[in-house]
Amino acid sequence: MDSSQTVIKVGPGDTTLRARLLGTRLREKREAAGLKLVAAATLNKRRPATLSRWETGERMPHPSELFYALELYGVGGAERDELMRIAEEAHDQPESPDVVSTAVADFEWLHRRAYRLEYFCDTALPGLLQTADYAREVLKAWDPTSSSERIERTLAARMARQERLAGEDALEVCAIVGEGALRTVVGGPELMRAQLRHLLDCAALRTVELRVVPFGAGAHPGSVGSFSILRFRDDRDLAHVITRAGDIYLEDPEPFTQALRRIKRVALSQRESIAMIAALTKAMT
């Protein structure tokens, strides 16, 4: 991983991903304009501390404030429109901290904007391909202290995302899963059998690529953990890693793209993967 790339961490109690992303862009544009923080603050008619909070994501500028700053920094056209859209969407969205966690809300926003998701999952199946029963068990195991109400709200958001698997503007999905994720019996044999059947249904969709890395593949780049890549038509792609300390987004997904490419080399073909999943489904007792 290139240590010089931008890493955006969103954890418990942290600012939202949208504010962090926007702040990162603002800092880049200010520096590209050759302005120090104090000089930029003077031009923006704001205190340096206010600009600093914008750039760290501690505070989201109002759309009118953002427009003025982008004008000062010489940012226009499609790039300005995209940054303005981030601020406007955040500003228009009613505050509802009890609906879902910040991490879930952020991912919901990214999911709506992405046209393609690429996964490597080694221990649990991708959220987009989970049944509700399987997802509920995974959420309980991830945080046993979470209330049933919170789990159900998070689950509802996850299930709603699956609607994008169908339709004219269906989300493209490339899911590479480790064999261990298929063999881990989550919630008992009956529940897991239903999950495996659901995987087969998903693999039949024209926009879904599903492949399995068998145990026999040995060591590979995914051995260090799961990750995903979000692809956008009108913005930079992002790599996403979930950790106990919070969600991490990286603005240069190329190291993960290369890792996924190498993982694919040792994965079974889609036809072979489907055959393996079908056999495991039949054998699940």
How far apart are alpha carbons 171 and 119 in whole angstroms? 13
The pLDDT profile of the chain, 285 residues, written as one tens digit per residue, is: 444 455 566 554 445 777 877 888 899 899 999 999 999 999 999 999 999 988 888 888 888 999 999 999 999 888 888 888 878 876 655 444 444 445 555 677 788 889 999 999 998 999 999 999 999 999 999 989 989 998 998 899 889 889 999 888 899 999 999 999 999 999 999 999 999 999 999 999 999 999 999 999 988 888 888 999 999 987 788 999 988 777 788 888 999 999 999 999 999 999 999 999 999 999 987
Integer-rounded Cα Rg, in Å, for the chain is 21
Q: Is 150 in contact with 99 (CB distance < 8 Å)?
A: no
How far apart are alpha carbons 239 and 231 in whole angstroms? 9
Q: Is 78 exposed, middle or buried (0-12, 13-18, 19+ CB in 10 A)?
A: exposed
User: Residue 162 has what DSSP assignment?
Assistant: G
Task: Give buried/exposed letters for 134-149 (b at 16+ CB in 10 A, else e).
Answer: bbbbbbeeeeeeeeee
Q: Parallel, antiparallel, or unpaired for β 208-213 and 172-178?
A: parallel
Nearest CA among 121, 124, 127, 126 for reference residue 222: 121
| Beta strand segments in the chain, E | 7-10, 116-121, 172-178, 208-213, 227-231, 238-243, 246-250
pTM of the prediction? 0.74
